[in-house]
Amino acid sequence: MNQVEFSAKVFLALVAVLAATTLCGRLAMLVRQPRVVGEMVAGVLLGPALFGAVASGAQSWLFAPEIKNVLYVLSTIGLTFYMFLVGAGLDHGRTGGRTVRQAAVLAVSGIIPAFVLGAGAAVPFFHSLSPRGASLGEYLLFVGGALSITAFPMLARILQERGITNTPIGGLTMVAAAIDDAVAWILLALIIAVGTAGTPLGALTTIIGAAVFAAVMLTAGRALLAKLGRRVERAGGLSRDTVALVLLLVIAAGWFTDHIGIFSVFGGFVTGLAMPKSPVMRRELESKFSDFNSILLLPVFFAFSGLNTQVSGFGEGLGLWIPLFVIMVAAFAGKYLGCAVVVRVQGFSWRHASAVGGLMNARGLMILVFINIGLAHGIVTPKLFAILVAVAILTTAAAMPIYRASLPGGMDQFVPERPKESSMAAS
């Protein structure tokens, strides 16, 4: 195959990906689901689940190994910039100290029960789902970490669409989800460092390198970027050279964290955290980077995830159904009950507590990022990958029905005032 033919084939694969994810995203919105749920499903359907089942020859030709390699690179670039935008969009000063403390308690109540119950439920399936040579500890850390994630970006969009981002319950949930994701990324970095370094010294080097990178970016890097932010504020927008500088920073950060053995998305996320939090800067970054990334590059990631999802085990009797059911129920119960109980103790109604429990269970894109990194580093098997993809889709799809059932008829627009200090002291 010459370069022209190869290029044409890549473009054809991108046409298929964009058409499938756009169509499924629109269908998801018609049934009152977030667009991301449809895009996740589209990725799976492009793989062995549907396309490979009805037209295996065409599917294997269109998504040949060399094409998948290109899709992997494009999806990695998309994920790195996606996590950059997530980090840049976090508003650390929007909530008061008490809200942050409440949110930290809520985040812990979602992480620990989901981690413990999910990992515990996965223990009986260690020998059938873990990679050869993996230790039980690595296996449980990975499964527990994946199941403790909340999809912060999707949650932010839902709250924004409902107009409750700045309400007490909205702010509480947003900050808690951000903490959840930060803990998950730290845990994943540790798992990858230990699982792929080969020696304890190699793992220590990776962990120290990541810590130093984060410390430098969030101190000296943030101070230098603050000057850039003031310049952007004065100019009222991003110049071409400034956009080039931001691109350079994100790509260099992604290369460095990939080079030390973590993953490029970590570099993108930390760089986003270091960006100035000026309204103009945030608006400009969103307008210049978001559309192309979310409409094309992220759907490529969904397709790549779907191509790696082997569904054959679900057709072999009970196959993967038993571990899927057990792990999903444990993970869902841990996140939902843990978060709902804490929100109720913090003084909100059971309806609001249930709504938060449902939203915090939405793992969305974030768990797919998590498990794809694990697959790339050989710390997750295709069977476990397929199970966790199913968990990602089902828990994310359940979030909005639970939310609407908990707060029907616009009740989310009438959120109670923040509980008084005495109530919080009692909790």
pLDDT tens column, 304-351: 888 877 766 665 656 788 899 999 999 899 999 999 998 888 888 888
Confidence of residue 224 (pLDDT cuts 50, 70, 90): very high
CA separation for the pair 403, 340 (Å, rounded)? 12
The residue ranges of every structural domain in the chain are 3-426
Q: What is the pLDDT of residues 59-96, one digit of tens each?
A: 889 999 899 999 989 988 988 898 888 778 766 554 44
Confidence of residue 355 (pLDDT cuts 50, 70, 90): confident
Q: What is the pLDDT of residues 239-274, one digit of tens each?
A: 889 999 999 999 999 999 888 877 788 888 889 889
- Give the tens place of pLDDT for each residue, 175-188: 787 777 777 767 77
pLDDT at 35: 83
Per-residue model confidence as pLDDT tens digits over 97-122: 555 677 788 888 888 999 999 999 99
CA dist list (Å): 237 to 222, 224, 234, 286, 292: 19, 18, 8, 12, 19
> Whole-model pTM?
0.74
Share of the chain above pLDDT 90, in %: 20
Class at the top of the CATH hierarchy for domain 3-426 = mainly alpha
| Cβ–Cβ under 8 Å, residues 173 and 354 | no
Per-residue confidence at 9, pLDDT binned at 50, 70, 90?
very high
Instruction: Say how many Å lie between the first and final Cα of the chain, rounded.
Output: 66
Give the integer Cα–Cα distance in Å for 57 and 133.
34
In this predicted structure, what is the pLDDT of residue 320?
A: 82
> pLDDT for 121-136, tens place per residue?
999 999 888 888 778 8
CA nearest neighbour of 84 among 225, 195, 234, 237: 225
- Tell me the C-alpha to C-alpha distance, in Å, between residue 98 and each of 175, 326, 336, 362, 363: 12, 37, 23, 25, 26
Tokens of 193: 């460092």
158-186 as b/e: b if 16+ CB within 10 A:
bbeeeebbebbbbbbbbbbbbbbbbbbbb
